[in-house]
Amino acid sequence: MEFRDLKVQYLNNKKTFDNSIEKVLLDTHFIGGEEVNILETKLKQYVGSKYCITCGNGTDALLLALMAWNIGEGDAVFVPDFTFFSSAEVIPWVGATPIFVDVDETSYNISVDRLETEISKVLRDTDLIPKVIIGVDLFGRGADFKQIRRIAEKYKMFILEDGAQGFGGSTGKQKNCSFGDISTTSFFPAKPLGCYGDGGALFTNNDEWADKIYSLKVHGKGYDKYDNVRIGMNSRLDTIQAAVLIEKMNLLDNEIEKCEGNAKIYSELLNGAIVRPQLSSEDRSAWAQYTIQVPVNKSRDKLIELLKKNEIPSAVYYRKPIHKQKAMDKYYTNSQKYPVTESLCQSCLSLPMHAYLGYSDIENVCDTINSFVANAR
Ligand SMILES: *Cc1c(COP(=O)(O)O)cnc(C)c1O
């Protein structure tokens, strides 16, 4: 059983992928080939945004957004404490100050109550200017952008949606990656929409920011890349990756539907003592992860060991809150402020989840976990 089965996905569609990669090899437009434009059009239509701009990876996408808004020294950027490091890493990169915010205990996404408290505190206690809220679609589920939007408008802040794990999911009738003033995603192979290397994209409806991002990702170009009007970077999605993604877009909705079915089976078969993902019926996760909480009085590491013995892969996302990462020492604040994140870091466990899991695989995982929970009582 694979944690995320990229091999079966490839083998089931081998001819299609091979042909589209071969076409790029024969065209030899490895950078900036026509597939990149075709993909950007497909992506923006899917999400429902005016612009899609591809780039080198999901981390660059976040960075490009902050650069497009001129975020820098003296600015406060709010980010959930429970996320992949990238979401927060880009903030000091541009010279701004990250403010970590605890998450909601049901959605695992940024807590809007805590967010407002933290913004008020920054305004009261520091000279920093609150500029950006980063909402992360953790494990595939959209953050609470309705409330985030309300807060952003109140304090005149930008919303950056980190949809690296959320692409393909939706909240209400709206697709993830359409909720930010700028939204981003990652095409890292294991993400809901992954390529065969690194890749990323930004989405926005704003003409001025889109123009600026197009320039920033190509050395701050003016009329071409030998005319440089601002300090930029080199961040491109190469043509082979675009060709792969065009084909994967055709599989995406069906794969997510299958993941949805698998999530249902998991939730039915798992012992009731285990906390399972709880989504409202109007929302669709992209199922980047199926994450449970191991009851706090049981040892998660022992369960991981038992699963391994039964040849079942699992993963812990995430073991450490962002505020406890050594690289963030400088921004360390009172760890009492993050009880939900601290607890999730102790209890969360992600199980195999992909479109190619069979019923008997899921049954096997659930039997193993259920017996562990019963025996460890
Ligand atoms: C994977 C991920 C990123 C970064 O994407 P890369 O393409 O690996 O740079 C950013 N944020 C979150 C939440 C992620 O899961």
pLDDT one-digit tens code per residue, 188-224: 999 999 999 999 999 999 999 999 999 999 999 999 8
The ligand 1 atom at the shortest distance from the C-alpha of residue 138 is: 13
The ligand 1 atom at the shortest distance from the C-alpha of residue 60 is: 9
* CA of 302 relative to ligand 1 center, distance in Å: 28
Nearest 5°: the CA angle 107, 110, 111 is 85
pLDDT range class, residue 172, cuts 50, 70, 90:
very high
pLDDT range class, residue 375, cuts 50, 70, 90:
confident
Task: Tell whether the model's pLDDT for residue 173 goes beyond 90.
Answer: yes
* CA of 36 relative to ligand 1 center, distance in Å: 20
Q: What's the half-sphere exposure (Cβ side, CA atoms, 13 Å) at 22?
A: 6
* CA of 268 relative to ligand 1 center, distance in Å: 30
Phi, psi dihedrals of residue 49, rounded to the nearest 5°: -110, 160
Neighbours of 296 (CB within 10 A): 9
Task: Tell whether the model's pLDDT for residue 336 goes beyond 70.
Answer: no
* CA of 193 relative to ligand 1 center, distance in Å: 12
Q: Per residue in 38-67, pLDDT tens?
A: 999 999 999 999 999 999 999 999 999 999
Q: Best substitution site from 165, 167, 236 to test ligand 1's pocket, by max atoms within 8 Å of Cβ?
A: 165
Phi, psi dihedrals of residue 215, rounded to the nearest 5°: -75, -50
* CA of 187 relative to ligand 1 center, distance in Å: 8
Q: Is 1 helix (H, G, I), strand (E, B) or coil?
A: coil
For residues 151 and 63, give the distance between their C-alpha atoms in angstroms, rounded to a whole number. 22
CB 302 within 8 A of CB 354: no
With CA atoms as reference, report the closest residue to 135 among 110, 98, 111: 110
pTM, two decimal places: 0.97
Q: Per residue in 129-160, pLDDT tens?
A: 999 999 999 999 999 999 999 999 999 999 99
CB 321 within 8 A of CB 339: no
The ligand 1 atom at the shortest distance from the C-alpha of residue 191 is: 1
For residues 315 and 224, give the distance between their C-alpha atoms in angstroms, rounded to a whole number. 45
pLDDT range class, residue 86, cuts 50, 70, 90:
very high
Q: Which residues have C-beta atoms less than 6 Å from ligand 1?
A: 57-59, 83-84, 86-87, 136, 162, 164-165, 186, 188, 198, 200
For residues 39 and 238, give the distance between their C-alpha atoms in angstroms, rounded to a whole number. 11
Task: Tell whether the model's pLDDT for residue 227 goes beyond 80.
Answer: yes
Task: Tell whether the model's pLDDT for residue 25 goes beyond 60.
Answer: yes
Residue ID of nearest Cα to ligand 1 atom 5: 58
Q: Per residue in 263-301, pLDDT tens?
A: 999 999 998 889 999 998 899 999 999 999 998 767 899
Whether cis (ω within 30° of 0) applies to the bond prior to 196 is no
pLDDT range class, residue 346, cuts 50, 70, 90:
very high
Strands 290-293 and 348-351 come out as antiparallel
* CA of 295 relative to ligand 1 center, distance in Å: 28
In the chain the first and final C-alpha atoms are separated, in Å, by: 28
Judged by phi (left if over 0) then psi (alpha if -120 to 50, else beta), residue 3 lies in: alpha
**Averaged pLDDT of the chain:** 96
Phi, psi dihedrals of residue 78, rounded to the nearest 5°: -95, 130
Compute CA 240 distance to the chain's CA centroid, rounded to the nearest angstrom. Answer: 22
Q: Which residues contact 121 (CB under 8 A, 6 or more apart)?
A: none
How far are the Cα atoms of 29, 188, 203, 346 from residue 38, in angstroms, in the given order?
14, 19, 15, 43
